Amino acid sequence: MFTLSDFDYDLPVDRIAQKPVIPRDQAKLLVVNRATKKITHHLVSDLLELVTPQFHFVANNTKVFPARLHGQRQTGGKVELLLTRPLGKSTYACISKPGLKLNTRIVFSHNLTARVSAISKHGLERNIVFSLPEPDLREVLLKIGSTPTPPYIKKSGSSHNDYQTIYAKYGFSAAAPTAGLHFTPQLLEKIKAERKWDEITLNVGLGTFLPVKTNSLADHKMHRETFTISKKSAESLTYSLTHNKLLAIGTTTARTLETAVSGQKIAPLSGSTKIFIYPPYRFSAVSALLTNFHLPKSTLLMMVSAFTSFPNSDTQFTNFKSSLLGSAYQIAIANNYRFFSYGDAMLIL
């Protein structure tokens, strides 16, 4: 069984991207061929030239909500909340800084207040009930909230649109499905004209911000995220499972497809997933993956490690540094690729 240290690597701090490339599709694209082990350098704008017509593109159209709120306890003291998911009836799950006691009242601008109504068993999340009903509440939250960009993005000045895909439509995400940040309207239009394109919705939640704390992967409890696959998309994706190949845009899309697949069928679902993918997981739905470069020891790095090793390629995974993916990361570092959310991309074929 693998341990956390098996997925570690060293990254120079100056490789962490602090802002997106403009235009978005001019980000670098490292292409890794699992069959030939060949690694080549391109741009995201080259995408259609790199994949054969049989590939069916699948994207996560979730929308990032400005879920970071700043308020004040009624008794004094500043509070920061990160809303992680709506629970209905003006109630949201959240992470608070500092941790708040039950029944603590919080005051925000725009005459909005909230109360802590519950604390989760693990003590990390709070449920808070706001004083306004929906949809008035949602309108105020859009005014007072800010985009919860990851902590490794230190520079201010990024707009909410920088951290939103151009095809974002639905949902409530605490973080962007970052592989999708590389698409421009022109590239998307070209793909839709020449290839099959479908969208699913997975709401990126709390787990995106949580490090793996257990040494053994078997002991890690994966976070749960809600997703939706429409009947129309499910039928189209099911057809491509046997007649084409699915190219997942991002790990959130891959996670959704691997949850929904059963045999040669992808079901129309509105549900949740807590699937934890790491070597030697066998992928059943996804044949190619467009993804960013991920943090050391993260569940996302573990998923991509599984995709690039046995039984999904002929290379056994022993640890990240000696793996095909680890070699690709070292090549990326040596060639000044930019890492993490605003960074460059990798296409795994």
Instruction: Return the higher-pLDDT residue of 261 and 76.
Output: 261
The predicted structure's pLDDT at residue 209: 63
The predicted structure's pLDDT at residue 112: 97
- Taking alpha carbons only, the member of 273, 283, 288 closest to residue 228 is 273
User: Is the model's pLDDT at 211 over the cut of 70?
Assistant: yes
Quick: pLDDT tens for 78-104: 999 999 888 999 999 999 999 999 999
User: Is the model's pLDDT at 207 over the cut of 80?
Assistant: no
Q: Number of C-alpha atoms within 13 angstroms, CB side, residue 272?
A: 9
Q: Which domains does the chain have, with CATH numbers?
A: 4-64+158-348 (3.40.1780.10), 68-144 (2.40.10.240)
The predicted structure's pLDDT at residue 222: 87
Output 327-333 pairs: Cβ under 8 A, ≥24 positions apart.
327/39, 328/30, 328/32, 328/39, 329/9, 329/293, 330/9, 331/30, 331/39, 332/30, 332/293, 333/11, 333/12, 333/15
Rounded-to-integer distance, Cα 37 and Cα 86, Å: 44
User: Is the model's pLDDT at 40 over the cut of 90?
Assistant: yes
- pLDDT > 90 in the chain, percent: 84
Per-residue pLDDT, averaged over 233-249, amounts to 97
Per-residue pLDDT, averaged over 278-298, amounts to 98
**pLDDT range class, residue 263, cuts 50, 70, 90:** very high
Average pLDDT, the chain: 94
Instruction: Return the higher-pLDDT residue of 44 and 175.
Output: 44
In this prediction the pTM is 0.93
**pLDDT range class, residue 208, cuts 50, 70, 90:** low
Instruction: Return the higher-pLDDT residue of 266 and 85.
Output: 266
Quick: pLDDT tens for 101-153: 999 999 999 999 999 999 998 788 899 999 999 889 999 999 999 988 888 88
Per-residue pLDDT, averaged over 332-340, amounts to 98
**pLDDT range class, residue 174, cuts 50, 70, 90:** confident
